[in-house]
Structure 1
C-alpha cells in the first residue's frame, strides 16, 4: 500500500510541475543553407517537410561589416517574424515565395515566435585581385535567436540560444576598371581616373613639389594622410571632370571609400616618377600598399598598383 501511495504521490508531483508551458519538441536546421525569396523579404530554410522562416526587412542586412562584439539586435515582433512550419510531405520554396503560395502539401503545424531577439553579425567575404589585393564579393550574416519563445499547439517552446545560421548577400561590385591615363582637374589640383560611373581621386597638398617639371632619378613620394587624400567614389551614372568642377545634383553618389592613413615606410605610399616626353613632362603615379575603408569594411588595393600617367607642359 505504501508503495502505491508513493507512486501516486510521485505522479502528482510530476503533473504539478508540468504547467503546459514547455514541450520536449525540438527543431534543428543547423545543416541547412538559408535562401531568400526573390520578391519577398523572407529568408527560409527547408528540410524535408519542415520549414524555418525569418520574415525581416532586406534593409536589415547592411552592405558592411558589424563592429567586433556589436551585432545588429532586433526584437521579434510583427515586423521581424520567426516561424516554424511542418507540412504533410516534402515542402519547397513554392510554399512560401510566390504571391499566392502553393497549398500542396498542406500545412499540418505552425509555431510562431512571440518573444525574443534576433542578433546578426555581418562579416566581409574576400576574393584576391592583382598585386596581392583583395575585393569584397559577399557579406556573410550569422543569425542567432536569443530567448526565442514559440507558441506551439502544445504550449510554448523556449530556446535560450537558437542558431539560425549563415545567410549570404552579394556585395555591390566595384569594377575598378580604370585605364592608365589620368587627368588633372581643370578647376583645382586633383588628379582623376574615371571609368564610367567610377572615380578614383587623388588630392594632394604638395602638388607643385610632387609633380615638379623635372626628371626624377629616384621616385618622389608622399604619404596618404589628412592632407594627401585618395578616394574611390561610385555614382549612379557616368561622371567626368566637369561634374566635379560644377557638382550638379545628379548623378548621385552611391558609395565612397577612403584610403587609410599611411604607416611610415610601410603603407599608404604615393610614388611619382617623372620623365620627358618631347618638350613636355610625363608623371607616372603608383600606389604602394593602400587599404580603403568604408564604415567597418576594408579592402586592400595591392602591394604596388599603377594609378596612371598625365602630361604637363612647362
Structure 2
C-alpha cells in the first residue's frame, strides 16, 4: 500500500512541474548584449529584440526609421496607435528564434503564451551617424546610423486586465548600415565653364561642382610660390560646392550638361550633398595655384578641410582634396 501511495505522490509532482510557460510580471530587456534586429533591411518596418522565451516588437510603416542624424532635442516621434505604429511584447512556451518573428509561415512551436499590446505612448528615435575616419587624409565615410529608441509614457494592456504604464522605457539601439559615399575622380580632369563661372569634375555617374565662383578664383595671373589664392565655400553666396549622383549616365560631352544656361532634366539627380560654409583659415577653403607657359594657364584647385552635408548628415572630403587642374588657353 505504501508503495502505491509513493507512486501517486510522484505522479502528482510530475503533473505539477513547469510545462515551459513563462509567467511575466514586468518586461525587462535591459541587457545591452541583446541586439535589435529587423525582418527587412530595406524598409525596417518590423524591428525586434529577442530573449530566450520573450520578444519585444515595433511595427512601423515602411521607411519610418530615417537614415539621417537628428538634431539635439529634436528626435523623431511617432504616436503609438496599435494600428500603424505598434509595440507588442510576447512570451513563449519555448525558445524563440528569428523565424518565429519573420518567417513567411511561422513555426508552430514555440507558441505564444502571453501577449501585451501597447495602446498608448510615444516612440522616440534619436539618430547618430557611424563613420570611419582616415587619419592620413582627414577624410571620413558614413557607414551607417545608430537609432536609439525610447518609449515615453507607454501603456501596455495586460491579459490580466490591469494596464502597465512606463514613463520611460528604453528599447535600445538599432543599427542600420549604408553604402559609404566615395568621392573619387582621380582619373578625371577638371573642366571650366567661364560663362557660368563653374568648375566641375565628373565620372559619368557623379560630379563635384563649384558654382558661382567669385571673380578672384580663376584669374590668369601666376600665384607666388606657396601663396595660392583663397576663398571660402559659401552656400548662400559665391563658391557653392555640390556633390551629386545621377540616376543615369552623363553625356559623353559633359559640357553640354554642366555648361548649359539651364541644367538639363536628364539624367535626373539622385542625391545632392552641399559644401558647408567655410571659415577663413580653418575649414571649407578653396585654394587655387596658377602657373603658365606661353599662353597656357593652369589653375590647380584644392579644397581644404571641406565638409559635405545632406540633411543633418556630414562627411569630410579631407584635409587637402585636389579637385583638379583647369587649363585655359588664351587666344
Bin for the TM-score computed over the shorter chain? 0.7 to 0.9
| Runs of at least 5 residues in structure 1 that lack an aligned partner in the other structure | 1-22
Q: Does residue 265 in structure 1 map to residue 296 in structure 2?
A: no
| Runs of at least 5 residues in structure 2 that lack an aligned partner in the other structure | 1-22
Q: TM-score normalized by structure 2?
A: 0.81
- SS of corresponding position for 2:102: coil
The answer on whether the counterparts of 1:186 and 1:241 sit within 8 Å (CA) in structure 2 is no
Q: Cα RMSD over matched residues? A: 2.2
- SS of corresponding position for 1:96: helix
> Could you say which residue in structure 1 is the equivalent of 2:25?
25
Q: Deviations over 1:243-281 (max 9, x none)?
A: 333533333322222112221222221111122356422
> Could you say which residue in structure 1 is the equivalent of 2:209?
201
- Mapping of residues 145-294 of structure 1, within 5 Å: 145-155=151-161, 156-179=163-186, 181-185=189-193, 188-207=196-215, 209-217=216-224, 218-225=227-234, 226-239=237-250, 240-244=254-258, 245=260, 247-276=263-292, 279-294=295-310
Q: TM-score normalized by structure 1?
A: 0.85
> Could you say which residue in structure 2 is the equivalent of 1:34?
36
> Could you say which residue in structure 2 is the equivalent of 1:15?
none
The answer on whether the counterparts of 2:196 and 2:212 sit within 8 Å (CA) in structure 1 is no
Separation in 2, partners of 1:108, 1:235: 51
The answer on whether the counterparts of 2:141 and 2:182 sit within 8 Å (CA) in structure 1 is no
Separation in 1, partners of 2:164, 2:313: 38
Structure richer in strand, relative to its length: 1
Q: How many residues align?
A: 291
Separation in 2, partners of 1:186, 1:99: 59
Separation in 1, partners of 2:105, 2:295: 72
